[in-house]
Amino acid sequence: MAAKLKRTFFCTSCGYETPKWLGKCPSCGEWNTITEHVVAKESSSSSPRLISAPKAQPQLVQEITEQTTRRIDTGIGELNRVLGGGLVPGSLILLGGEPGIGKSTLSLQIALTANGLKTLYVSGEESAEQIKMRAMRLGIGNEECTVYTETLLESIVSQIEELRPDMVIIDSIQTMSTDTVESSAGSVPQIRECATTLLRVAKSMGTAIFIIGHITKDGTIAGPKILEHIVDVVLQFEGDGNHTYRILRGAKNRFGATYEIGLFEMRESGLREVDNPSEILITHYDEPLSGCAIGAAVDGIRPYLIEVQALVSGAAYGTPQRSATGFDQRRLNMLLAVLEKRVGMKMFQKDVFLNFAGGFKISDTGMDLAVVAAIISSYYDRPLNEQACCAGEIGLSGEVRPAPRTEQRISEAARLGFKRIVVSSYVQKSIKCPKDIEVVFISSIEELPKALF
């Protein structure tokens, strides 16, 4: 008798499951995203080879023996930082990012750097020769790293059971498929089944597994959101393809906080850790230039100093142009309106262009003061004091509000040898100032020029 096929419908956008076809997904509201999939051959009892976990018993919270989670040093400081202090054995980690951003490079580097750890790098995208070539380029060799080019999940699981590695990398989840699901690799049911199987393998064997997932244009992980629910940790690898800087960001972490970021620079020989971002985000000019200002920014909890450049020039046409790279254009318009109204600068006749160093995207409102300082400097064509920087938010009536974590920003500026920092006077009483930097407190935007020129 032919095995019966079980069919069901999935939304390709959010992973919603329905027994019949629908035009609009009731879960995420997208149109034409529901597709039909053959889920399982009924004859095959589902995944018989998986180790069944021992039955859990309810326990009083006081009686649960606390195992301090062991953390493994991955050998990459920036990665340890984002993971919350190292890799937890048996964790399932999703590494997402746009194509070409460097996910394969980063994960191969993880596999090769993890000295003393037994690693298995599974690739469904590249041949063993291509991986060898990349490993040569990276110039790191781990004798305990095994490369396996395979896309069938059952074979991968049996290799994991045989080799018993400490760490496994699956590049990428969209190329993997399991026999128990009939639909093609990369489809919602395949991704879901593969990820849950890998979760069980990770937990039962204590192996940490990294899953690489491609991200679609709109920034979501291709395939369903459910992938994010299954894994323990979600890491996003971001950056601008035209620039060399990459940010590794934690979006979810069951073993730690998500506010840490890791910084890397893409080089000829792979990714290099950037443990001192401020030094590369500030250019040292021979002569001071107008239109340049330094802001003390914070991303997550990490303070760094970054250069902002503004160009203010007479508008040649009726409507002035406003363009911002790496900064919210509406916020720029608001700051220009404040300058117009409160400082009396004639911004309506000016084109304004704004740019941040390194292709960084800034969403920190604490950078308002630096943006305004750069604009004022370009408007009057006068360079600012090179030894000074600023951190503060600007309100609609021109008042300077404190930026979050002002104290850390001041310390970072002092550490980098700046002699003066301009911040909001609201925090004057509550913060301790380091000795080697002059902290200037201002309450309104009108006081800014005097403090910085």
List residues near ligand TYD by CB under 6 A: 97, 99-105, 134, 137, 266, 268-270
Q: How far is the CB of 142 from ligand TYD (least distance, A)?
A: 16
Identify what 102 binds: Mg ion, ligand TYD, none; CB under 5 to 8 Å per kind.
Answer: ligand TYD
175 binds Mg ion (CB under 5 A): no
Q: How far is the CB of 344 from ligand TYD (least distance, A)?
A: 49
Nearer to Mg ion, 221 or 338 (CB): 221
List the structure tokens of 215: 């991200």
CA distance 182 to 185: 9
CA distance 163 to 23: 47
104 binds Mg ion (CB under 5 A): yes
Q: How far is the CB of 170 from Mg ion (least distance, A)?
A: 12
Binding mask 207-246 for Mg ion (x = CB under 5 A): ----------------------------------------
Identify what 394 binds: ligand TYD, Mg ion, none; CB under 5 to 8 Å per kind.
Answer: none
Nearer to ligand TYD, 222 or 335 (CB): 222
109 binds Mg ion (CB under 5 A): no
Nearer to ligand TYD, 33 or 174 (CB): 174
Nearer to ligand TYD, 34 or 122 (CB): 122
| Contacts with 294 (C-beta within 8 Å, 6 or more apart), sequence order | 282, 305, 306, 307, 308, 370, 388, 389, 390, 418
105 binds Mg ion (CB under 5 A): no
Q: How far is the CB of 243 from ligand TYD (least distance, A)?
A: 12
Amino acid present at 158: S
CA distance 282 to 180: 54
Nearer to ligand TYD, 129 or 268 (CB): 268
Rg (CA), the chain: 26
Nearer to ligand TYD, 101 or 294 (CB): 101
Q: Which long-range contacts (CB under 8 A, 24 or more apart) does 332-341 make?
A: 332/371, 334/396, 335/368, 335/371, 335/372, 335/375, 335/394, 336/375, 338/372, 338/394, 338/396, 338/397, 338/398, 338/445, 339/372, 339/375, 339/376, 339/445, 341/398
Identify what 268 binds: Mg ion, ligand TYD, none; CB under 5 to 8 Å per kind.
Answer: ligand TYD
Q: What are the Cα distances from residue 130, in Å, to 63, 112, 120, 133, 152?
A: 51, 15, 16, 5, 20
Identify what 277 binds: Mg ion, ligand TYD, none; CB under 5 to 8 Å per kind.
Answer: none
Q: Which residues pair with 17 in a beta bridge?
A: 10
Identify what 97 binds: ligand TYD, Mg ion, none; CB under 5 to 8 Å per kind.
Answer: ligand TYD
Nearer to ligand TYD, 237 or 379 (CB): 237
Neighbours of 89 (CB within 10 A): 16
| Contacts with 400 (C-beta within 8 Å, 6 or more apart), sequence order | 369, 392, 393, 394, 423, 424, 425, 442, 443, 444, 445, 447, 448
Give the pairing type, strands 261-267 and 270-273: antiparallel
Identify what 105 binds: ligand TYD, Mg ion, none; CB under 5 to 8 Å per kind.
Answer: ligand TYD
Identify what 270 binds: ligand TYD, Mg ion, none; CB under 5 to 8 Å per kind.
Answer: ligand TYD
Nearer to ligand TYD, 268 or 286 (CB): 268
Catalog residues that contact Mg ion under the rule CB under 5 A: 104
